[in-house]
Structure 1
Amino acid sequence: MKKVLFACLALLLLCVLTGWNLLGKSGKPANANTFKPAKLTANEEAILHASTDNSFLYQYRVDPNKYKSVRIWLEEYKYGKLVNNHLFELEEEAGKKGTIMFTASPVSENSKRYKVIEGIYTGKGNTTFNTFKTFPAAGDKDINAFSLSGVDSAESASGKKILGAIGFSKDDSAPAPPLHDFEDLKKHKKEIQSYATLLVVQCEFKNNKRSA
């Protein structure tokens, strides 16, 4: 439990620090409507690796007249079958800039019970969701996890984005699926059928205000 508390506090600190770094080196705002991986200092990287095993941390800057809100959610697949397309959905007013975070870490070594934390930190407000969930099902044995990021460099904020994926496989030698497999999971269903659980983290900037 102490490890979980440390993770929550450390990740909150990271989001605050990365929020401060949204200005360029000249002190002028970055280009509007951009989305990119958060740039971390060596100390921030150390905090992140000490607090979680699987994480995605991104920064954005948008025109608040064009994008009113931002939401993140998970799609959950079991052996290639979609079982939940809006797991842990979270939405917040976008503001002009912000930080988006998702992490999933085992509560103890070799545990299948994970602490899931996701957050949207903006000038308009901060929304955080955290819960515990067992990945994959309790009956599955010898499960190995992998994670990979879906956004490598600065991109336009338009459209839905795959922030990353976390997968659990019985074969520890099985390579992680290529990133393009996640862009159309129905088309690449065969490639992901061997994964006991596959979590695909997504986000979208919307031109309407967040739901009540």
Structure 2
Amino acid sequence: MGIDWGVVQMAVPLLAEGTVMTLKIAALAGLLGISCGIALGLISLGGWAWARALVAAYVSFIRGTPLLIQIFIVFFGLPLMGLRLGEFWAGVIALSFNCAGYVAEIVRGTVGSVEKGQTEAAKSIGMTQGKILLYILLPQSIRPMVPALTNDTITLLKNTSLLSVISVYELTRSGQAIIASHFAPLEIFALLAIYYYAIISVLAWVSRVIERRLPAW
């Protein structure tokens, strides 16, 4: 048996539709997750012990449980709380929560590694801990943070495939639908691999360009 090129030709535009949904989910979840993760990372370096403890517990839960379980908790848990957002937004929220936990650790490690003398100098001129983190330490941490954030974003994009279990019609789900109707698993899974590889290659290239153009502090 050879490759069914007719199925391949038919699948290419259908998978492109799933790709658009995957990119939309990844963009929204990445924006929310990175924003929240930066905030949580800065809180974990702040002066409030109770806030640091809450962030540490949140990060520990995110890192210690499978993403698939987190997706199920959000998808089935939100309706019990009276929030019926549908599969798309449940998936976005679950991925955002997961992303935020990992980004918080990236920020905590990167910002916390900036030379301590700068913190002492800023305190000597009357700056608060919050202003030191926001205006002194964070800007110097952005460039070394970019590779780790890129890896996290790539992982987030690949993790969108898990949303197929709650019937979000993203790239993987669209491939599964084609396989179910035409039974051509080799052709479709090969196409899925090509689509994901192309997207992630572009993302990695954009990250390298951004990293080169960022100022060195």
TM-score range, shorter chain: under 0.3
Structure having the larger proportion of residues in helix? 2
Scaled by the length of structure 1, what TM-score is found? 0.24
